[in-house]
Amino acid sequence: MQINVALRGRTRLAALLRDLEQEADHKDKDKDRGPRCDRRNRRTWRQLILGVLVARSTRLVGLGRVVAPQRRVGSVKAAAMALTYFLQTARVPLPALSTRLLEAAVRRLDPAHLVTYQGKVLLVLDPTEYEKRSRARGKCGRQMEHIGRVRRSQSRPRTKQSTGKGPRPAHGTGTPTQKEERRTATTPGYVDIWAGLVLKGKRFLPLARQLFSSRHPQCTSQNAVEEAVLTQALALLRRLGLRAIVLGDKGLGRKELLIRLANQHQDMVLRVDTDIMVYPSDTPAGLLLAAALARQPWRGTVDWDRGEEGILHCRLRTLRATIRFSRTGRKDDVQEATVNFVEAVPVEGATESLVVATTLPVDTVAQARAIVRLYAQRWAIETGFETMHAWGQEAFMVRRWTAIDRLLWVLAVAYALLVLALYQRPLRAIRRQATAVLKALSVVGDHLTVGKLAEAIGLDYQQHRRAWIAAWVQ
């Protein structure tokens, strides 16, 4: 189908990337952070970013098709091999370069586009898992490096089938022939921890990320990597003069992290399990969080926005209690902090209730409702993951640890570039023309998203490849 509309703002998009690079270099020119990125590697880096946007893929062959016309190569395979060298061997500080560029992207954002509460931005932290079909050992050492184990996305409970032997169970004791074994199925793969800002429109701007595998010799634990990513993101925001509220799901609601953040006066809203011990002021001996919450009176109602799963009408109750943690079990090694707990219990259905721990005040019903709504903002990172998964976030085929990490950093920068493009006034033309291109194909929704903008770029690149290359690679 012939499309008459062209994305004439492609030069401004390329200029935005170059401006971010220059600003990142200017902020870092007086610091010694190891090897610099030379012009040749930087050109390859830009080509990779454009390749991800056009191909919406992380497969080297797909990226090679986009990059080949920009390089002096005779085939797509040769271009893919050049990208492999860049990702695996080239001396380029890609994590540091990407982090500085993401910091420059935040500086370019109008503060009006940030979701805030009490003058503080929302920083969401969440891990995502990549399932990979790879053996721990491969032929000629070509297996994926340091590959660990992750949870299988679709695991079915196993059942024990009866053999017909042995006594029958007594009436009312249940049927052991259908007893489910609650085992977590695992598969080879990697864990990737991301942290970023929540923007209006449920958009996510990445700030920091780090790859994790339990078989990596330098990785101590996933908890340590998550806290390292959180520390990096908070340090970046402090350099920008922004105070943050940390949002996270159940996996981050560990007592040790809750206590550390509370003692550092770092605001947080983290979902927790109800099987932890808490110590309310009227119960010094302590009891389970579920039991402590059950004793509290109802304080009102709230609508819990669960993203794609819909909205649930819930009843609210709150609790203020102390939590304690000891790594060694000795009495002199006990850490503690007093935090607030908010529970949203669905009025209908058997959905598990939402329980979050927070350092924010919950003295009024309005404040308790605000905590539930703040937690709902965590879905911004899920929408970001959904878009990046469609771009091949989990479909990479490179094998070396360094190559995987660098490729994911390229993906993060490409995604952040388009997020920023949706808000920049000088790029209004490319947004308007992208909408026209997609309307010609009847694939545009209610509003332009990051994924739709990338789709429009891919369509335009096929017809105006020379113009894109001239604007992008300078």
Q: What is the pLDDT of residues 404-437, one digit of tens each?
A: 999 999 999 999 999 999 999 989 988 988 888 8
pLDDT confidence band for 275 (50 / 70 / 90): very high
Mean pLDDT of the chain: 87
- For residue 444, name the pLDDT band (cuts at 50, 70, 90): low
pLDDT-based confidence at residue 307 (cuts at 50, 70, 90)? confident
Q: What is the pLDDT of residues 363-416, one digit of tens each?
A: 999 999 999 999 999 999 999 999 999 999 999 989 999 999 999 999 999 999
Between residues 332 and 77, the one the model is more confident about: 77
Looking at residue 271, its pLDDT comes to: 96
Domain ranges of the chain: 10-107+399-472, 271-375
Q: With a cut of 90, say whether residue 125 has pLDDT above it.
A: yes
Mean pLDDT of all residues in 249-270: 94
Residue 29 has pLDDT above 70, yes or no: no
pLDDT at position 184, please? 64
Any residues with CB less than 8 A from the CB of 352 and at least 6 apart, and which? none
Select the more confidently predicted residue: 310 or 126: 126
Q: Which CATH class is domain 271-375?
A: alpha beta
**Mean pLDDT confidence for 234-263:** 95
Q: Is the pLDDT of residue 173 over 50?
A: no
For residue 135, what pLDDT band results from cuts at 50, 70 and 90? Answer: low
| Least trusted range by pLDDT, from 109-113, 151-155, 265-269 | 151-155
392's CB contacts (< 8 A; 6+ apart) are 56, 57, 58, 59, 62, 411
pLDDT bin (cut points 50, 70, 90) of residue 156 is: very low
pLDDT of residue 140: 65
Q: Is the pLDDT of residue 142 over 70?
A: yes
Are 240 and 103 in contact, with CB atoms under 8 Å apart? yes
d(CA 413, CA 405): 13
Give the range with max mean pLDDT: 24-28, 158-162, 428-432: 428-432
- In this predicted structure, the answer to whether residue 138 has a pLDDT above a threshold of 80 is no
Out of 1-15, 66-80, 172-186, 414-428, pick the least confident: 172-186
pLDDT of residue 157: 42
pLDDT of residue 7: 72
The predicted-structure confidence for 52-89, as pLDDT tens digits, reads as follows 999 999 999 999 999 999 888 889 999 999 999 999 99
pLDDT band at 31 (very low <50, low <70, confident <90, very high): low
Q: What is the pTM of this model?
A: 0.90
Strands 244-248 and 120-131, bridge-based pairing: parallel
pLDDT at 328 over 90: no
DSSP collapsed to 3 states, the chain: CCCCCCCCCHHHHHHHHHHHHHHHHHHHCCCCCCCCCCHHHHHHHHHHHHHHHHHCCCCHHHHHHHHHHHCCCCCHHHHHHHHHHHHHCCCCCHHHHHHHHHHHHHHHCCHHHECEECCEEEEEEEEEEEECCCCCCCHHHCCCCCCEEEECCCCCCEECCCCCCCCCCCCCCCCHHHCEECCCCEEEEEEEEEEEEEECCCEEEEEEEEEECCCCCCCCCHHHHHHHHHHHHHHHHHHCCCCEEEEECHHHCCHHHHHHHHHCCCCEEEECCCCCEEEECCCCCCEEHHHHHHCCCCCEEEEEECHHHCEEEEEEEEEEEEEEEECCCCHHHEEEEEEEEEEEEECCCCCCCEEEEECCCCCCHHHHHHHHHHHHCCHHHHHHHHHHHHCCCCCCCCCCHHHHHHHHHHHHHHHHHHHHHCCCHHHHHHHHHHHHHHHHCCCCCCCCCHHHHHHHHHHHHHHCHHHHHHHHCC
Give residue 9's pLDDT.
Answer: 83
